[in-house]
A and B are shown apart, each in its own frame.
Chain A
């Protein structure tokens, strides 16, 4: 199957306070696939994601999204690119002062010229995709942890983005809720035909949703390949990670 590259990271390096966090990392993520950025705490995976999202600017190296180098884009072009990117934050990022429905309608109101009734219907429909239509008038503080995660997912896909970026979506969830969130993400990926780039260290999640793995160790990419290649890899850092995750 010939797949298009949607994200290309080339030679990215980053440091904070003279401490090198990322060292010359390169990898790609492909259309309609789930690429998992995997690694232990402090391995640089979230920093990489924040660079891809344009939240940190790359001092060295290039990041291309849909063929565009994000460091070469002006603010307007970057904002246009953001419309094609759904982002699902670890702590949901839902606006606590707005209702769940308003959280979803906000980007639609700001970025489209759709009538209010259609905006309402789109928001409601996206909530129904995550089985949360009944929470339309509720505030995020009234939702459980798992529900808030699903509401954040609904907001991330409200503009039908072709790419979904997830930062530790399973953090703080019990195994059952995590499994159902993974199932939901898989389901949405199939239905909406999205590419997913996910940062996680939950091995159970990886087994359920990953097509490709990019493994980080001490700020370097030490492995890039399919899930089955990752599972059969002899790379020491990767083997150790899977062994320790399985309690061996």
Chain B
């Protein structure tokens, strides 16, 4: 008996044997999930030396085989046939034959291939997809939300009683503490960093102008918007996405209720009512932080700070900050809602759109900030 590898006996747990006699490969005992991987690795290595034009795989001594064993045998057959060896499976018992038939891997052509067009065409399709599915649909949603927001101002029946107050509390009031603390710290650090430079030029008093203008026109609204986007934008996206996945939005529609009027408009009212107040609080906190830094590091007393602030502060800066807060609030609600509606899959989809909504709303807020910075300069 000629054997490739001394009968290729493996340890007991592997429980299979194979050996080659002439042009016949005998496979014996059990060949299942726990053996097939080792079997195929060993046999392919050993058969590299095989020079014959024909090979018979004898399965008469197989006692137990499952889908992994069958697939391994067909895989071996395919590999050898690719090398020009004619392979025949022989002498299998009735049970093994049934398994060979049952677990025969189907033709690869039965798989529907992933369609890939030419490169340029795929870029074009992507651009059209982005224009249609993102920009156009976002504008349509924005138009819908603004239309219903104006339309429903005096139609309280269009929403659940108390819902606007509820949303104002959730989105605005509950964010007060974090906004105030963060802007106070930012105002303090901003003044602290600037104080060293201003001291060099003996321009200590201008710390007031810097802090007040920076906080009122720029930092206050922007930091508030970023915090609200992270806190409430994500919540809006997750809420709407979950409602879509669990068919609650469909239920609203089939009850004759417009999801935009019922779900988004109250959020829009809530955010538009509270954002200006949040920004005013953020400005006060930021200036207070700046005042603390000015007092500690530049010996500018609060009285002097207030006197200078009176000259530095212009109505334009206050109004600009409030206009910005309203625009940012609108962007956060629209972006959160848009991505919430865009959810496609289950649990994973909700997480995905929530993340994208936060990133997109912060990005859009910064873009809007740049545009308004140019307009109100």
Contact = CB atoms under 8 A, between A and B. Distances in A.
A189 B36 CA distance: 23
Given A122-B71, A134-B112, A112 B33 contact: yes
B66 interface: yes
Contact of A96 (B33, B103, B106, B346): B346
A128 interface: yes
B112 A96 contact: no
B37 A124 contact: no
30 contacts: A96-B345, A96-B348, A112-B33, A113-B38, A114-B36, A114-B37, A114-B68, A114-B72, A118-B40, A118-B68, A118-B72, A118-B75, A121-B74, A121-B75, A121-B105, A122-B68, A122-B71, A122-B105, A124-B108, A124-B110, A124-B111, A125-B71, A125-B104, A125-B106, A126-B67, A133-B110, A137-B112, A141-B344, A160-B68, A191-B102
Interface string A124-153: 111011000111111111000000000000
B259 interface: no
B67 A122 contact: yes
A22 B55 CA distance: 60
B37 A121 contact: no
Contacts of B256: none
B75 A112 contact: no
Nearest to A83: B33
B40 A114 contact: yes
A112 B37 contact: yes
B111 A121 contact: no
A125 B111 contact: no
Given A121-B105, A133-B106, A112 B38 contact: no
Contacts of A126: 67
A19 interface: no
Contacts of B75: 115, 117-118, 121
A139 B113 CA distance: 13
A160 B67 contact: yes
B10 interface: no
B33 A160 contact: yes
Interface residues of A, number: 30
Interface string A84-100: 00000000000111000
B114 interface: yes
Nearest to B348: A97
Interface of A: 95-97, 111-115, 117-118, 121-122, 124-126, 128-129, 133-141, 159-160, 191-192
Nearest to B44: A115
Nearest to B76: A118
A47 to B, nearest CB: 23
Contacts of A113: 37-38
A160 B66 contact: yes
Contacts of B36: 112, 114, 118
Q: How large is the interface on B (under 10, 10 to 19, 20 to 34, 35 or more residues)?
A: 20 to 34
Nearest to A121: B105
List of 5 A-B pairs having minimum Cβ-Cβ separation, nearest first: A113-B37, A96-B345, A121-B105, A128-B106, A114-B37
B237 to A, nearest CB: 17
Contacts of A111: 33
A96 B347 contact: yes
A146 B188 CA distance: 61
Contacts of B345: 96-97, 139-141
A232 B25 CA distance: 56
B93 interface: no
Nearest to A94: B346
Nearest to A192: B102
Nearest to B37: A113
Contacts of B41: 115
Given A115-B40, A133-B111, A124 B106 contact: yes
B24 to A, nearest CB: 23
A237 B197 CA distance: 87
B91 to A, nearest CB: 22
Given A121-B74, A121-B75, A138 B67 contact: no
Contacts of A160: 32-33, 66-68
Contacts of B347: 96
A192 B37 CA distance: 21
B133 interface: no
Interface string B99-130: 00011111010111110000000000000000
A121 B349 CA distance: 29
A159 B67 CA distance: 8
A113 B36 CA distance: 8
Given A112-B68, A118-B68, 6 more contacts: A113-B38, A122-B71, A124-B110, A128-B106, A134-B112, A192-B102
